[in-house]
A and B are shown apart, each in its own frame.
Chain A
Amino acid sequence: MAVELDVFVGNTTLIDKDVYQLWLDGYSVSDAVTIRIQSGILEQTGATQDVLESDTMDHYRAFQMLERLLHCPSKLTNQLLFQIPPPMQSMLIEKYYTFDEPFVREVLGKKLSKGTKKDLDDVSAKTTITLKSCRRQFDNFKRVFKVVEEMKGPLVENIQQNFLLSDRLASDYAAIVFFANNRFETGKKKLQYLTFEDFASCGKHLIHNWTLGAVDCMVDDMDVDLDREFLQDLKDLKVLITDKDLLDQHKSLVCTALRSKVSSFTEMEANFKNLSRALINIAAKLIHTKDVRDLFIDLVEKFIEPCKSDRLSCNDVGIFLTQYMNTARALDAFKHQSLWERYMGTIKSCIITMYHE
C-alpha cells in the first residue's frame, strides 16, 4: 500500500524548529529523516519512521511555500496565507538569514556575482556545508546587498527595517555588504587565522569612521562606500616618515611615553621606524582601490607579523599604538591632526582586533 498523497495543514502553521534547521541546512527529506532518527526522536515519542517521513515532508512543503515570503520578510508578517504567531515569524526570518561562519569566511569580500555563485560547489566541498545551504546563504547576502546598496541612511538600520533582523544579525549583514562592496581581500592564507567576527568588527570600525556616512549622514551609499576624499588626503600623512626631524621627534615622544610601561620596550624602540613606516605607507596607498582591497593583508604583513616576530603582546601593541597616535599631537610641525586621528583611531582598533593567534 503506497501513500499517494499526504498533507497536514493547520490553521496556525505548525513549525518544528529542528526540522526547519535541517531544511535550512539543505538536507534532503530522507537525510533529514535519518538525522531525526539519530536524534532519538522515535524513542522519545514512540513514533514510527513513516510518521517521521510524513511529518518531515509536510514541513518541507510548508517551508518551500514560505521561502518566497522569507525573501521579503516584511511580506511574511503581512501575508494572509500562513497564520504564524509573530514570535515564530521572527524565528523563521532570523534563522533563514543566519549564516554559517565557515561559509561566510569563504565569500566575505568577494563580488556577489553569478561567477561566485558558480564556485559555490567548491565552497560547499571545502566547508562541508551542503550546496543548497550555501546557495541560500549566498542568495541572502546578495539579496540584502541589492536592497540596501543604494539606500540612504545608516546601513544597519536599513537592513533591520527591510529584513526584520535582530541587531546582531543586521550588523553582521552590514559588514558583509560593506566587505562585498569594497571587495576587501580576506581569503589569503595569511588571513585565514582571522574569524568572521574579527572582520565584522573591523568592518564596523571602518563603516563608522572611514565612510561617507561618518561625515555626512544623508548621502547615498553613506555606509557602503569609503570616503574618497579622506583616502586621498591620507597621502599627506607621509610627512611623518619623509621628514627626518618629525620622525625622530615622534620616536622620542613615543619612547618616552612607553618606557617602563611595556615589557618589550627595546624591540619596539628598535622597530619604531619600520612600524611607523608601514602604517604610514598603508595610509598613503589607500588612494588606489586595489590597495584598499589589500588593507587587511597589508596590515598583517607589514605590521602584525613584524610585531609577532618580536613577540609583542597584544597589550603592548595596544599601548604602543595609543601612544603612537596620541604623541603626534605634540608634533608642532604636523598639521593633519584630525586626519591622523580618523586614520589611526580606526587602524588601531582594527589591529587590536586582528592581533591574536
Chain B
Amino acid sequence: MWFPIQRPERVSFGASAKPWMPFDSQQPNSHCYRLETNSELLCICSYTHLHWVPFSEDPNPVTHSSGPSTPLKNQTYSFSPSKSYSRQSSSSDTDLSLTPKTAAPSPEGPRIFLFPSSPPFSSGSPHHKSTQLLRSEALHSLTPPHSGYASPVCLRKTVSFNEELLLTASGMGSGSGGKDGVPLKALYRQQTQSAFEHREFPFFTLTTFPPGFLVHVGGVVSARSVKLLDRIHNPAFVGIMGNTRSYKLLDWNSFNADEPETRDAWWAEIRQEIKSHGKALGCHAVVGYSESTSICEEVCILSASGTAAVLNPKMLQDCSTEGCSEHRLSRQPSFFSTGSEKGEFDFFLQCQDSASILGLDDASSLGCSFCHIPYDELNMPFPAHLTYCYVCRKQKVPDVLFTTIEPPLEAAVTGKGCLIQARLCRQKKKTQGEANATAISNLLPFMEYELHTQLMNKLKLRGMNALFGLRIQITVGENMLMGLASATGLYLTALPSPGGIQIAGKTPNDSSYEQHISNIQKKINDTIIKNREIYEINPPEILEELLGSPIPETRQRSRLFRSQSESSDDVSELDLSHGKKDAFVLEIDDADAVEDIHSLLTDTPTPAGFYSCNTEIMPGINNWTSDLQMFTTVRVFRLNNVTGLTSHGLNKAFSDLCENLLKTLYFKLRSMVPCCLCHVNFNVALPEDELIQVSVTAVAITYDKDQAQYVTKVCTDKTILKASVENEDQLQFTLELCMESQSSQSALHFSPCKTMGITESGNLQQVTPAAQRATSVDYSSFADRCSSWIEFIKQKAQTIRRGSIKTIASLDKASPLAEAHTHHRSPISCTTSTVTVVEMTPLSFIPGAKIAKYLGIINMFFIRETTSLREEGGVSGFLHAFIAEVFAIVRAHVAALGGNAVVSYIMKQCVFMENANKNQAQCLINVSGDAVNLFRDADVESAPSQPQTSGLQIGNGSGDVVT
C-alpha cells in the first residue's frame, strides 16, 4: 500500500528526542509537558520540566546569529523602517520569509521578506492602516490605529531587536500600575525578568495555572512563516515515487540528511519572534503556547501562537532556583507517604500571602489582576483604548483581551461565554515552489487581518470583551488557503463593556440606501441586545466619572476596518480613524460589505439550552452532571468549480459549512439539553484541489439548570482551597498505594504520568463542584477503599482478558464501577454483559467523578484501507465504521488497563483519501489521551462502606485469579 504512516504535519512520531518535538502540544507521547490541560500543580511540582523547553539553541546571541536565521535578521533590518515596523509588532505574519530558489542549496543564503505588494503599504493609505491592524494581532485590541503616533512607537521597538533595549522598554513599562504598587511592582518585574533572563524560552504549553500564577496577561502573540521544503527538487526522490501526490505523505528525513537542523532553525526563529513579541507587550513569558504546521506539496506554513503573560515572580522564583527545586523534590514524596501533610496547600497560601505582600492581593482576590495591562501606558506597543479596571478601579485595562489560555479560575466573569469562529477562504493560483510560497505569503497578512476583524465583530455582536482559547488555524491547499479561528468569547467584568457596531453607508445621499442601512443597523442592535440576554451579560452599571475613564462616552466605541483590499482604498477613511472616535463603524461600500454584514448576522445563534465553547469549561456553569457524550464528526465537501466562485462565494461556502456542522451537532445532541459543548475543536484540511475536510471533536456535557450554583471562584476561598488540597493528599496517598500493589502492571506506566496524575487530579477537584462534599467523607477509610477498588478493577480487567465471565458475574455488585452500570441495566441483559463502560472526553476531567489513578498514555495510530468501498456503504460508511472501531479499540485498551475513562482525548490526525473509481479508500487516524480510573462522587456518597468490605473480599480472592 502506498499509504504512508506519516503525515507531513507530524514530521515524526514516537518518543523522538528531537528538540522541536515537545513543542507540538498535540504530541503527548512521553513528554510530560504536553499537559497543557488543566494542571494547576503541574507547573509547580514538575515545574522545571515544563518551562524549560529542551531546545538546543545556543543562548549566546552571537553564536545564534551565525545560525541560519541570521541572514534573515540582517536582511530584515536593512529594509525601510515602515516595513520593519510591521515585522516587529506583528504577531502574525512576521516571518513571511521564504527560501528563494537561490537559497535552496544553502540555508545561509539571503532571505527575502515578502510583504503584500507595495500599494497597500504606502503610508497613509487605508491599506497601511489595515496592515497595522493586522500587525496588532498579537495585541489584544483592534482600536483605530492612530497612525500618527502608533508608528513611531512601533518603530522604536522594531529597531530595537536588541534584547537589552527591549528589556529596558518593558522595564519602563512596569511603572504604569497603580500608584501604591509602583515600586514593588517594578521591583518584582525586575526580579521576574532576572529569573527569566537566563531562560531563553519562557514558553508554557499549559493553559491553566494555579490561582495567582498569572499576574498579567498581555494578549495573543503569534508568528507564522512560510517555508519551502526542498526535497521536491531532489530528482532521486521524484524518480522513486513517480507519483505527484503521494510524496507529501512521506518522511523527507531520509532524503535530506540535514533537514532536521534546518527545521530546528525555522522553529528557533519563530520562537525568538514570539519571545520578542511577548517582550514588546511587557511580558516575560508565553503561556498557552502551541505550534502547528500546514503542508501542501512542498510549501509549508509554520505557525506558533501563545499568550504573553507576566507570571507571579514569587512562584517562579520558588521554583526556578536550584535549592527550591530540590525543596520541591524533597517535598514530593510526602504526598505519597501520608495524607496528613499539607505541603501543597501551604505553598499555595504562601503564594497568596506573598502576593498580598506585594500589593497584588486586591487584584488577585478580585479576579481582575490578570486583565491589567503589563505594558507601559505611555509607551504602548500598539494603539489601544485603556480604561481603569472595572473591578478594582486602580489599574488600567484594555478594552478587549485575546488569549490562547483557559479562562483563569479566579477571573471575574459576567454571564456565560460562547464559541466564536471566524472563517475565511482565499483562492490562490495553482503554482509551484517559489511562486507558490510567494502567493501564500502575500495572502497571509490579509487573512490574519480579516480573521481578526471577524472575531472582533462577532465578539462585539455578542456584547463580550474577551476571547479565550483562541486558536487560529491556517490550512494551505493547492488552490486555496483556509483560515479558521475559534475562541470562546466571554465578558470579563474587569474590562469595559464593548460598544455597539455602527453601520456607515458610503453614499449618504441616497435615501433608499439610507433606509437599508438603518435597517441593518437596527438588526445589529437587536442582535446585540438579544445576545446579551442569551449570555446573561448584565454588567453592573458603573459611572464613568468614578472610573475616570479616558473615554468620554459611556458607550465606548471603536472603529472597525474591513480588510477587503478591493473595497478600502478610500482615503477619506483616514479622517474617521483620527482621534478618539466613538463608533465601531462598519463601512458598507460595496456588495461584498453587505454580504459581510449579512454573514455576521446570519451566524445562527446557539439554540436554547445549548452553550458552546472551545475551552475546557464554560465559566458561569458549575453544576455539571456526569452525563456526557464525546463525539467526532468528519465532513468532506467538494467545492464545485472553485475557480468560478468569487472570493465571497467561497467564504460563504466555507462559513456555511461550519455553521451547518454546528447546527447538526445541536440537532443531534438535542436530547441532552441543557448542555454545553465543551472543547469544540475544529480541524480543517484540504486533501485535494476542491475538497475541504472539516473534523470536529468535542464533548457535550449536560448541566443541572435548577441546582444551586456551586462556588465559582475557588481560588479566593481559602477554605475551599484547603479542602481540595487535603483531599488531594489523600488521593496521592492512594495513588502510591496502588503503585505498590500493582507491581505487575507498573510496566505499563510512563513515569511522567505519575506527576500528571497527581497534578491533574488536584486540579480536577477545583473544577469539580462536588469537591467540597467529598471532604465530608471519612478519609482514613477512603484511602483503603480506593485501593481496594483499584485492586478489584485490576482484577476485573484481568478476568476480562482471560475471558472468564463467571467471576465477573458474581462479583459484579462489589465494584463501584459495576454498580454504576447496573443502575442502567435492564434485568435482561445485566447477567450477560461484561463490557466495561469507558467514558471518553477531550477535557482533563470528568464532571462528578474523581480520577483515582492514571494508567498511562494512549497514543494509537490506525490505518485502514478498503478495496470494497461501495460495499461498505461508500466513504461515509467506511469512515463511520472506522471511527467507531477506533473508539472501540481505545475503550477496550483502557478497559484492559483497568481503566474506565479516557481524559484529554484528541484525534490528532484524520487523513482520508479515496479513489471512488477504483472502489478504494484509505484512512489514517491518530488518537491519544490518558487512560484513567475514576470513580463517581455519587458512588462514594451513596455507599461509603459497602464497597470497602466487598472490595476487601475481592482482594482476598484475587490471589487465585491473578496467579
A pairs with B:
yes
Bound CA span A94–B637, Å: 38
Q: How far, in Å, is B884 (CB) from chain A's closest CB?
A: 5
Bound CA span A16–B668, Å: 9
Q: Which residues of B contact A3 (CB under 8 A)?
A: 635-638
Q: By the criterion CB–CB under 8 Å, are B832 and A78 in contact?
A: yes
Q: By the criterion CB–CB under 8 Å, are B607 and A46 in contact?
A: yes
Closest to B886 in A: A9
Q: By the criterion CB–CB under 8 Å, are A11 and B634 in contact?
A: no
Q: By the criterion CB–CB under 8 Å, are B875 and A8 in contact?
A: no
Q: By the criterion CB–CB under 8 Å, are A86 and B660 in contact?
A: no
Q: By the criterion CB–CB under 8 Å, are A86 and B607 in contact?
A: no
Q: By the criterion CB–CB under 8 Å, are A55 and B664 in contact?
A: yes
Q: Which residues of B contact A6 (CB under 8 A)?
A: 633-636, 876
Mark contacts of A304-327 with chain B using CB atoms, 8 A cut-off: 1 yes-contact digit, 0 otherwise.
000000000000000000000000
Query: Is A7 positioned at the interface, with any CB of B under 8 Å from its CB?
Result: yes
Q: How far, in Å, is A14 (CB) from chain B's closest CB?
A: 6
Q: Which of B281-289, B577-585, B733-741, B887-895 contacts A (4 or more CB under 8 A)?
A: B887-895
Q: How far, in Å, is A169 (CB) from chain B's closest CB?
A: 11
Q: By the criterion CB–CB under 8 Å, are B633 and A4 in contact?
A: no
Q: How far, in Å, is B366 (CB) from chain A's closest CB?
A: 40
Query: Is A128 positioned at the interface, with any CB of B under 8 Å from its CB?
Result: no
Query: Is A52 positioned at the interface, with any CB of B under 8 Å from its CB?
Result: yes
Q: By the criterion CB–CB under 8 Å, are B887 and A9 in contact?
A: yes
Q: By the criterion CB–CB under 8 Å, are A86 and B830 in contact?
A: yes
Q: Which residues of A contact B640 (CB under 8 A)?
A: 1-2
Q: By the criterion CB–CB under 8 Å, are B835 and A80 in contact?
A: yes
Q: Which residues of B contact A4 (CB under 8 A)?
A: 636-638, 691, 875
Q: By the criterion CB–CB under 8 Å, are A86 and B873 in contact?
A: no
Give residues of chain A (44-84) contacting chain B, Cβ–Cβ below 8 Å.
45-48, 50-52, 54-55, 57-58, 61-62, 64-65, 74, 77-83
Given A1-B639, A1-B640, also A87-B631 (CB < 8 A)? no
Q: Which residues of A contact B629 (CB under 8 A)?
A: 10-12, 14
Q: Which residues of A contact B665 (CB under 8 A)?
A: 8
Query: Is A270 positioned at the interface, with any CB of B under 8 Å from its CB?
Result: no
Q: By the criterion CB–CB under 8 Å, are B833 and A45 in contact?
A: no
Bound CA span A77–B809, Å: 14
Bound CA span A13–B671, Å: 13
Bound CA span A58–B875, Å: 12
Q: By the criterion CB–CB under 8 Å, are B826 and A87 in contact?
A: yes
Q: By the criterion CB–CB under 8 Å, are B663 and A51 in contact?
A: yes
Q: Which residues of A contact B829 (CB under 8 A)?
A: 77, 86, 89-90, 164
Query: Is B630 positioned at the interface, with any CB of A under 8 Å from its CB?
Result: yes
Q: How far, in Å, is A120 (CB) from chain B's closest CB?
A: 24
Closest to B884 in A: A9
Q: By the criterion CB–CB under 8 Å, are A65 and B880 in contact?
A: yes
Query: Is A125 positioned at the interface, with any CB of B under 8 Å from its CB?
Result: no
Closest to A61 in B: B880
Across the interface, A45 reaches (CB within 8 A) one of B637, B667, B825, namely B667
Q: Which residues of B contact A14 (CB under 8 A)?
A: 629, 631, 668-669, 671
Q: Which residues of B contact A166 (CB under 8 A)?
A: 828
Query: Is B125 positioned at the interface, with any CB of A under 8 Å from its CB?
Result: no
Chain A CB within 10 A, most for which of B630, B668, B834:
B668
Q: How far, in Å, is A46 (CB) from chain B's closest CB?
A: 6
Q: Which residues of B contact A7 (CB under 8 A)?
A: 633-635, 876, 879-880, 883
Q: Which residues of B contact A82 (CB under 8 A)?
A: 884, 888
Given A9-B633, A11-B631, also A80-B892 (CB < 8 A)? yes
Closest to B889 in A: A80
Q: By the criterion CB–CB under 8 Å, are A5 and B660 in contact?
A: no
Q: By the criterion CB–CB under 8 Å, are A86 and B638 in contact?
A: no
Q: Which residues of B contact A8 (CB under 8 A)?
A: 631-633, 664-665, 668
Across the interface, B637 reaches (CB within 8 A) one of A1, A48, A89, A160, namely A1
Mark contacts of A280-323 with chain B using CB atoms, 8 A cut-off: 1 yes-contact digit, 0 otherwise.
00000000000000000000000000000000000000000000
The tally of residues in B whose CB lies under 8 Å from a CB in A reads 58
Query: Is B236 positioned at the interface, with any CB of A under 8 Å from its CB?
Result: no
Given A77-B832, A79-B835, also A58-B880 (CB < 8 A)? yes
Q: Which residues of A contact B607 (CB under 8 A)?
A: 45-46
Q: Which residues of B contact A52 (CB under 8 A)?
A: 667
Q: By the criterion CB–CB under 8 Å, are A164 and B880 in contact?
A: no
Query: Is B837 positioned at the interface, with any CB of A under 8 Å from its CB?
Result: yes
Given A8-B633, A48-B663, also A64-B826 (CB < 8 A)? no
Mark contacts of A1-38 with chain B using CB atoms, 8 A cut-off: 1 yes-contact digit, 0 otherwise.
11111111111111010000000000000000000000
**A-B pairs with beta carbons under 8 A, tally:** 153
Q: By the criterion CB–CB under 8 Å, are B639 and A5 in contact?
A: no
Q: Which residues of A contact B634 (CB under 8 A)?
A: 5-7
Bound CA span A54–B653, Å: 17
Q: By the criterion CB–CB under 8 Å, are A83 and B657 in contact?
A: no
The tally of residues in A whose CB lies under 8 Å from a CB in B reads 47
Q: Which residues of A contact B656 (CB under 8 A)?
A: 1
Closest to B902 in A: A11
Query: Is B179 positioned at the interface, with any CB of A under 8 Å from its CB?
Result: no
Given A46-B607, A51-B663, also A78-B835 (CB < 8 A)? yes
Mark contacts of B725-754 with chain A using CB atoms, 8 A cut-off: 1 yes-contact digit, 0 otherwise.
000000000000000000000000000000
Chain B CB within 10 A, most for which of A61, A164, A165:
A61
Q: How far, in Å, is B720 (CB) from chain A's closest CB?
A: 31
Mark contacts of B658-684 with chain A using CB atoms, 8 A cut-off: 1 yes-contact digit, 0 otherwise.
001001111111110000000000000
Bound CA span A86–B880, Å: 22
Closest to B693 in A: A5
Bound CA span A48–B667, Å: 10
Q: By the criterion CB–CB under 8 Å, are A81 and B876 in contact?
A: no
Q: By the criterion CB–CB under 8 Å, are A80 and B891 in contact?
A: yes
Mark contacts of B824-847 with chain A using CB atoms, 8 A cut-off: 1 yes-contact digit, 0 otherwise.
111011101111011110000000
Chain A CB within 10 A, most for which of B630, B653, B828, B881:
B828
Across the interface, A78 reaches (CB within 8 A) one of B833, B873, B880, namely B833
Q: How far, in Å, is A164 (CB) from chain B's closest CB?
A: 5
Bound CA span A172–B656, Å: 50
Bound CA span A4–B879, Å: 12
Q: By the criterion CB–CB under 8 Å, are A83 and B837 in contact?
A: yes
Bound CA span A78–B828, Å: 13
Q: Which residues of B contact A5 (CB under 8 A)?
A: 634-636, 693, 875-876, 879, 912
Across the interface, A86 reaches (CB within 8 A) one of B668, B826, B883, namely B826
Across the interface, B630 reaches (CB within 8 A) one of A10, A50, A55, A77, namely A10
Query: Is B821 positioned at the interface, with any CB of A under 8 Å from its CB?
Result: yes
Q: Which residues of A contact B880 (CB under 8 A)?
A: 7, 9, 58, 61-62, 65
Bound CA span A64–B876, Å: 13
Bound CA span A64–B667, Å: 21
Mark contacts of B380-409 with chain A using CB atoms, 8 A cut-off: 1 yes-contact digit, 0 otherwise.
000000000000000000000000000000
Bound CA span A215–B159, Å: 104
Closest to B633 in A: A8
Q: How far, in Å, is B667 (CB) from chain A's closest CB?
A: 5
Bound CA span A45–B664, Å: 11
Q: How far, in Å, is B921 (CB) from chain A's closest CB?
A: 9
Mark contacts of B295-310 with chain A using CB atoms, 8 A cut-off: 1 yes-contact digit, 0 otherwise.
0000000000000000
Query: Is B552 positioned at the interface, with any CB of A under 8 Å from its CB?
Result: no
Q: Which residues of A contact B633 (CB under 8 A)?
A: 6-9
Closest to A12 in B: B629
Query: Is B4 positioned at the interface, with any CB of A under 8 Å from its CB?
Result: no
Chain A CB within 10 A, most for which of B635, B664, B840:
B664
Nearest first, the 8 A-B pairs at minimum CB distance are A5-B636, A86-B825, A90-B826, A10-B631, A11-B630, A9-B883, A8-B633, A7-B880
- 18 example contacts (A-B, Cβ-Cβ < 8 A) are as follows A1-B638, A2-B637, A3-B638, A4-B875, A6-B633, A6-B636, A7-B633, A11-B891, A16-B671, A51-B663, A64-B873, A77-B832, A77-B835, A81-B885, A83-B837, A89-B829, A90-B829, A164-B832
Other than A1-B640, A4-B637, A10-B630, give 20 A-B pairs with Cβ distance below 8 A.
A1-B637, A1-B638, A1-B657, A3-B637, A5-B636, A7-B633, A14-B668, A47-B667, A57-B876, A62-B880, A64-B877, A77-B832, A79-B835, A80-B891, A82-B888, A83-B838, A86-B821, A89-B826, A89-B829, A90-B826
